[in-house]
Amino acid sequence: MAEVKLTAAVRTDFGKGAARRTRRANQVPAVIYGHGGEPVHVSLPGHDLMMALKTPNVLLSLDIEGRNELVIPKQVQRDPLKGFLEHVDLLVVERGETVTVEIPVHTEGDLAPGGNLLEHTLTALPVEAEATHIPEAVTVSIAGLEAGASVLAKDVVLPAGVALAVDADAVVLHVVAGSVEAPAAEAEGAEA
């Protein structure tokens, strides 16, 4: 996973008004915490942060007044209507440190014929991985699965150095039988 380098400015103004001023200046208010240190309030460049957050669990290398910090996003708050970034909580990590994150589950292949439906019980899989080697996603093959079939967490192939952080028997994907409706003409004829 590549590191994204951003420059952060320490914030001294707090509250709703200060956060609005920060956002008007195309910056995003953020808080950096972790490793027992005091939380640090910063502002980050809005567009650069938005582009970086398109990668799940992105590793950010922040330059904070000459000091370098490695962080990962822990919580991202967006405007519910416009989708703009409103606030980001960042967690300090160190190289070699193991972190627990959720990675997206992608599927490949087609289900067995018959109108079956795929239900994503877990859209993101909780895993433990080294902070600088977090996978972007895991891919699960659903080729030929029939109604009633399930893919459990232990069945998902994980990259080397990545371990499950969820019960091994947790259902990730489940195939549900699709309901077949009778055509409208047949249904009307049956009522008469």
Kindly state the tokens that stand for 159: 């990259």
| Cα-trace Rg, the chain | 23
Q: How far apart are CA 24 and CA 163, in angstroms?
A: 42
Q: What is the dihedral of CA 69, 75, 76, 81, to 10 degrees?
A: -170
What pLDDT score does 183 carry?
56
* Sole residue written with tokens 């994907």: 173
* Sole residue written with tokens 């992608």: 106
Residue 111 has a CB neighbour count (10 Å cut-off) of 19
What pLDDT score does 189 carry?
54
β-bridge mates for residue 184, sequence order: none
pLDDT in tens, 119-137: 888 888 999 999 888 888 8
Cα 54 off chain centre by: 9
Position 8 pLDDT exceeds 80: yes
**Domain made up of 3-93: CATH architecture:** Beta Barrel (2.40)
Q: Work out the mean pLDDT of the chain and round it to a whole number.
A: 85
Domain 99-176 has CATH 2.60.40.1930: no
- Map residue 158 onto helix, strand or coil: coil
Q: Which ranges in the chain are annotated with CATH 2.40.240.10? A: 3-93
Closest among 180, 172, 192, 191 to 107, alpha carbons compared: 172
pLDDT band at 16 (very low <50, low <70, confident <90, very high): confident
Write down the pTM of the prediction.
Answer: 0.73
Q: Which ranges in the chain are annotated with CATH 2.170.120.20? A: 99-176
List for the chain the helix, strand, coil content (%; round to 5).
15, 45, 40
